[in-house]
Amino acid sequence: MPLKFNVILRSNRGMPKPRPTQFEVRRSKPYHGKAWRIVGYVDGKLKQHWFATEKEAKAEAAWRNREIAAYGSKITIDAELRLEASRARDLLEGTGLSILDAVRTALEHRQLVIRSKPFATFAAEYREEINDRLSTGRLRPRAAESLRETLKRMTGYFGETLLIDISPEKLTEWLAEMPLAARSKKRHRAYGSQILEAALKAGYLASNPMKGVETFKANGGEEEITILSPEEIERLLKSSPEEIRPLYAIAAFAGVRWGEIARLNWEDIKEREIVISASKAKTRSRRVVELTENLKAFLRPFRGRSGPLLLHPRSLERIRRRVAAEAGLTPWKNNALRHSFISYFYALTSDENKTAALAGNSPAIVHKHYRALTNRETAERYFAITPEKTKFPHEM
C-alpha cells in the first residue's frame, strides 16, 4: 500500500514521498470482483474507487483529474496570498506536511485552546467526580484521599494555567520542587497522570503530558529490597499491641499488603487460607494465600470474629510508626514485611511460581528481585517464629 511505502522512505532517506496531485489507475487484487482502481488524495486524505474494467477506471481518473485542474485554474490568488503561501511552503520544507495539513493542525489546536479550561476550574469538576465515584463504590476511600491530595497540590501550583499549556517540562518542575522523597513524588506523578487522563477524556487536552515525565527513583535506581531478620521480626511483633499483632503476622508470614489488610474482614480468614477478593486486592485480581503453620497459631485466638480486621484504618500509620520506633526499626523500609515474606518463602521452597501466586506477583518479578536474598536455614528460623516468642512478659 502507498502509505507503508511512504513510511519506509521516511525512515531510509529522512524525507517523505510527495503525495500525488492527481488520480492514478492501478491494477490490484480483485475486491468484490473488481480488479481496477483509481487512487488519489482529496483534501489531504487518501481516496480510492474500484472498477470492473481498465477502461472505466481510466475514464473516471481522467474526469477527476480534469476537475482538479479546472479547480486550480478558476481560483484567483492575489500577490499577498501568493507570498504567504510561498513562505509557508518554505517553513514546511522537510516536515512532510502540506500547507493544508498545517492549516488543519493549527485549526484543531485553536479549537482545543477554546475548549480547554484553567486547571483550577477543571479541578473543581474533578472533585465532584471523585465524590460521585466514592459514593457509588467505584473508588476506594484511600485512593480518593490520595487523588484529592495530588489534586490540591496541582491546583496550588498550576491554578489558572490552561490545561492545554501544561507541558511535561512544567510537570517535571512541579514534582522536582516538592520537598518530598522520591517515593512520594512517584506517587504524585501516578495520581497526577490519572487526573490529566480524565482531562484528556473530557476533551481539554490533545494528549496526557504526564506521559512525557520520567519517574522519580531513589538514588537514580530501582527501589532497594530490604528484608528483616528473624530476630527483627520477633522484636517487631513483641512491640505491637495485642490486637494489632495478628495483622503484623499476616503481613510478615503471608505477604499481604497493608492496604489489603485494611480492607479485609475476619470472614476472609479461613482455617487454612486467606481469600483476598478482586475488590480488596491491589492488583484487582483475586488470590488465595495459604496459611503457614506459625501464622495459623497467631490467628487461632481470633477464630470466630467478624467484621473488619482493622476497626480504625486511619490510625494504622500512627500505630505502625510507634511500633517500628519501639522495635528500633526506624527509619522504616518501605514494604519490608512483604519483601521479607517473599524472600524467605522463595528461599524455603525454591518455587518462584508458588511464591508469585501467593504474593500476587509474576514469577519473573520474584526471580529478578528476590532470588538469593537469604538462605533456607534462615528461612526455616523465620517461619518458626511462634506467638510464644513474641508475647509481652505480662502475657506469659
d(CA 89, CA 344): 67
User: What does pTM read for this prediction?
Assistant: 0.51
Confidence class of residue 21 from pLDDT cuts 50, 70 and 90? confident
Q: Identify the pLDDT of residue 347.
A: 95
Residues 262-291: what's their mean pLDDT?
91
Q: Are 382 and 293 in contact (CB under 8 A)?
A: no
Give the pLDDT of residue 1.
41
**Residue 248: its pLDDT value, please?**
95
Q: What is the pLDDT of residue 78?
A: 64
- Judged on CB neighbours under 10 Å (0-12, 13-18, 19+), 251 is buried
Start-to-end CA distance of the chain, whole Å, equals 81
pLDDT value of residue 345: 96
Residues above pLDDT 70, as percent of the chain = 86
Phi, psi of 274 (to 5 degrees): -110, 125
Q: How far apart are CA 310 and CA 264, in angstroms?
A: 8
Tens digit of pLDDT for each residue in 26-69?
Answer: 998 888 888 899 998 877 778 888 888 998 889 888 888 887 77
pLDDT band of 314, cuts 50, 70, 90 = low
- Least confident window among 46-55, 182-191, 297-306, 314-323: 314-323
Give yes or no for residue 2 having a pLDDT over 50.
no
| Sign of CA pseudo-dihedral 190, 191, 194, 198 | negative
- Distance of alpha carbon 109 from alpha carbon 104, whole angstroms: 9
Please state the rounded mean pLDDT for residues 129-156.
90
> Closest Cα to residue 361, out of 274, 256, 273?
256
**Mean pLDDT computed over 112-140:** 87
